Amino acid sequence: KGWITENLYLYQGFWHQSSRRISVETLMALQDTFKAHPTDIYLATLPKSGTTWLKALVFALVNRNLFKDNCLSTHPLLVSNPHNCLPFIETEIFRDTPTYTDPHSLRLFATHIPYTSLPQSILDSGCRIVYLCRNPKDVLVSMFHFANRLRDKLLGPLTFEETFTSFSKGVMPTGPYWDHVKGYHKVSLEQPENVLFLTYEDMKIHTASNVKRLAKFLGFPFSEDEEAEGAIQRIIRICSFENLSEANKHGNFREDIPNDAFFREGKVGDWTNHLTDEMSSILDEITKEKFHDLHISF
Ligand code: A3P
């Protein structure tokens, strides 16, 4: 039941949890059994990078027909956790594959699996992947709070210092952070038609243009009429932090994860309230060294 530092295994250069749902065995089994379709869409992230938001946006934009009757109170995103609308391949799908085998249906999946450990079938399929990256300092802070919501009484809470030390050594589920980001960033430059690289920070500032970009990349561009009648703004509104967190105030996503654990602050720069100057400089140094050949700004 530990989250972050306990029960992690190193596999193909990345740390993975060992739990009922996600494990190295699951990754190996996916490699053997998972069949990707060329029309699949995968949303790839490191935990705590904005996965829930991206899931909601993509679900809303490819299912625009759900807005037709203008009945928002029954929209799946407002009556259910976005994680129930768009499954992770390494957890839900692996246990539930038969539902998703229709080769003609559009399949939306999420994953935290590093690029180099993705099932070969995905890499060979020519499908589209959206990667959402977030400032490592905000990922660390978000992870610290999330971990402490999930840790059981036996393990006790993690201190921020422990979380920082582990994170900066690269030890976190599907970390090291920097290698995960670099893996997807590299392919986004080599195969821009297959991998779209976005940042949480840019999504926050330029939400509308990024939603438009996402829609075009995924093959669901907005028509002029749709734009004129406010379709983009409607999607942004329904997926806003305020709306989704309100809809997820109660209940559990799974027996061990309350719905509201996925919604905390939803802001850029909360790290300034947690990191000392020294911690901040250490992460800046690591990021500068690891990302010296990338152009990513947060
Ligand atoms: P904070 O802990 O900094 O608030 P993930 O979905 O990958 O688990 O990431 C969770 C982070 O995304 C949390 O960050 C959460 O508050 C934020 N988040 C969730 N929904 C969001 C939304 N609709 N808009 C912006 N941020 C959101």
Quick check: is 36 in a domain? yes
Residue 50: phi and psi, rounded to 5, are 110, 20
Q: Which pLDDT score, from 0 to 100, does residue 169 have?
A: 95
ipTM above 0.95, yes or no: yes
Quick check: is 296 in a domain? no
Lowest-confidence range among 17-21, 112-116, 214-218, 240-244?
17-21
Average pLDDT for 97-109: 69
Q: How many domains does the chain have?
A: 1
Please tell me which residue in 16, 75, 112, 180 is annotated as part of the active site.
Answer: 112
3-state secondary structure of 271: helix
Quick check: is 69 in a domain? yes
Size (the chain), residues: 298
169-182: pLDDT as tens digits: 999 999 999 999 99
Closest ligand 1 atom, CA of 239? 23
Q: Whose CA is nearest to atom 9 of ligand 1?
A: 48
> Which comes out higher in pLDDT, residue 95 or 130?
130
Whether the CB of 15 sits within 6 Å of ligand 1? no
181-227: pLDDT as tens digits: 999 999 999 999 999 999 999 999 999 999 999 999 999 999 999 99
The residue segments making up the domain with residue 212 are: 8-290
Among the listed residues 197, 185, 146, 184, the one whose alpha carbon sits nearest the alpha carbon of residue 167: 146
Whole-angstrom CA distances from 200 to 87, 130, 172, 190, 271 are 20, 12, 19, 22, 14
Quick check: is 1 in a domain? no
267 CA to centre of ligand 1 in angstroms: 8
5-53: pLDDT as tens digits: 778 889 999 999 876 567 888 888 889 888 899 999 999 999 999 999 9
Quick check: is 145 in a domain? yes
Quick check: is 297 in a domain? no
Quick check: is 258 in a domain? yes
Q: Which pLDDT score, from 0 to 100, does residue 2 have?
A: 54
266 CA to centre of ligand 1 in angstroms: 5
Quick check: is 3 in a domain? no
Domain of 179: which CATH number? Answer: 3.40.50.300
